[in-house]
Structure 1
């Protein structure tokens, strides 16, 4: 089973899953790009559904404007399965003096585990607020626990978050996501989490495609990690063809059962409903048809259906727990 905003869903019922988007996000690093309007984010979620996705992960962790009750309402209104996230992002997203940065690894673990087991608060404050509930009155629980690091750097606070994410995985089995700045330090993150007892097979490495190195990706997949490809529509850095070619080359080297796809659009100025572009539908409308014209259908199904279901549920294809 996979924990969604509206409760548990059988992994096999997730359908095509987008592993990394944001319905709500507010950060001091993204002034002017806030995602904070329920109606507009709901319209954007509907466009994602209409582009061919049945599920998504809202990858906004604690303290960055996540709105769990609104996420649940959007999920109910659109029919889109949404997995919500706990954990913490890399340190600069919070700003100096933010209460989350002062928490010990044990205190962070308590916060993260509570989000998974009991449900998220209505909003994130130093003193926990009332529990968030969905339209059916049930708690909105997290299904993913997230950490983030800098470019080839991990601050003391980020080390504590990684330790707490590992402890949360040991306590709950929630899927793990790690933000890699520009795809850096992937093996180093896996080693640190591994030292805390987390196998690579529990971990999705977000933005690994920001370093489009198929040989490296094949090595990471061989270690067991999931590869988060979410850099599409960033043509100031590379054309989409670079990432599709990298995916195909990595798959040819054995990584096909570890690739996940997402958009991580994550900006007001990039959401159609907020007046920007290309929007959450870009991946389904522009990238997937192009890829599917030449890709092995079995690989497409693995990347869009089998792999995210396995990562989010913590089970392999035979149903054996990690």
Structure 2
């Protein structure tokens, strides 16, 4: 597991929020920036008070991820933080994408992320890319091709934003069938935003990680159907592929739910509804396996 403080055994993650954001900035979200380090620290401390030990930030290159601040936050709070390289959808950038994204991803995974301050330039621990609504356009394919190239060079897992939970089969066909990325290295984000249980079962049969990360999105079909999906996947024998997170992407979401919701509300409810053993699997065992990598460089 590659954290902002260095490589550690996967067991060091403990109870883990597998998809969230402490820092994020996008021209698509004016006035909703997450940029305050003190506020991020308060979020992490409240998260830790309810048992949180690890958090994976999916904010990719160019969206204000504040890699140097992540190092200081990890040191001050004791929460293990994993950071991302990668590219989101083109609409989230005001400037042109890097000319060679694969080279950028590899550099940030093996040498250090761009944008560190005060000499802090930690390495990323995963690659984040994004699909489109019910398909993959040219930009998405270019980003995913670069992610696959970087995965083969480093071993890093690839986390994928599924637009409104769609196009999981397209993503798997492109990354796994065409680009030969093992499904066990692919994390399908936002799977719960399209509450189609049959689609979720099909994605599960691929062997990919199934990421349910909706508490901050009250206008999506997330919490209201989350436990139906989770119970079904456990019943179908796919509980060992499920990851849970908060995906707090805006200041509004931070005020309404925030990172602490994952340990304060979500984990206890999983334990009540599905049992403590399943809760431990979702929040401890599965993240330890998903983010443990045999790094090639």
TM over 0.5: yes
Say whether 1:246 aligns with 2:229. yes
Alignment of 1:69-108 (within 5 A): 69-95=68-94, 98-100=95-97, 103=99, 107-108=100-101
Alpha carbons of 1:46 and 1:209: their partners in 2 closer, same or farther (altered >3 Å)?
same
Structure 1: distance between partners of 2:106 and 2:291? 16
SS in 2 for 1:293: helix
Alignment of 1:134-283 (within 5 A): 134=120, 139-194=121-176, 195-238=178-221, 240-271=223-254, 276-283=255-262
Aligned to 2:283: 304
Aligned to 1:295: 274
Aligned to 1:127: none
Please list every run of 5 or more consecutive structure 2 residues that lacks an aligned counterpart in the other structure: none
SS in 2 for 1:140: coil
Say whether 1:39 aligns with 2:38. yes
SS in 2 for 1:254: coil
Number of aligned residue pairs: give it.
Answer: 294
- Kept in 2, the 8 Å contact 1:228–1:262? The answer is yes
Shift of 1:244: 1.4
Aligned to 1:109: 102
Question: Residues 158-188 of structure 1: CA distance to partner in whole angstroms, max 9, x if unpaired?
Answer: 2111000000110001111000001110011
- Kept in 2, the 8 Å contact 1:91–1:149? The answer is no
Shift of 1:41: 1.3
Question: Residues 124-144 of structure 1: CA distance to partner in whole angstroms, max 9, x if unpaired?
Answer: xxxxxxx8744xxxx400001
- Kept in 2, the 8 Å contact 1:215–1:250? The answer is no
More deviation, 147-156/84-93: 147-156
SS in 1 for 2:105: helix
Question: Residues 269-303 of structure 1: CA distance to partner in whole angstroms, max 9, x if unpaired?
Answer: 222xxxx2222111211222222113132222211
- Kept in 2, the 8 Å contact 1:26–1:65? The answer is yes
Question: Residues 8-56 of structure 1: CA distance to partner in whole angstroms, max 9, x if unpaired?
Answer: 1111221011111111100011111001111111111222222221001
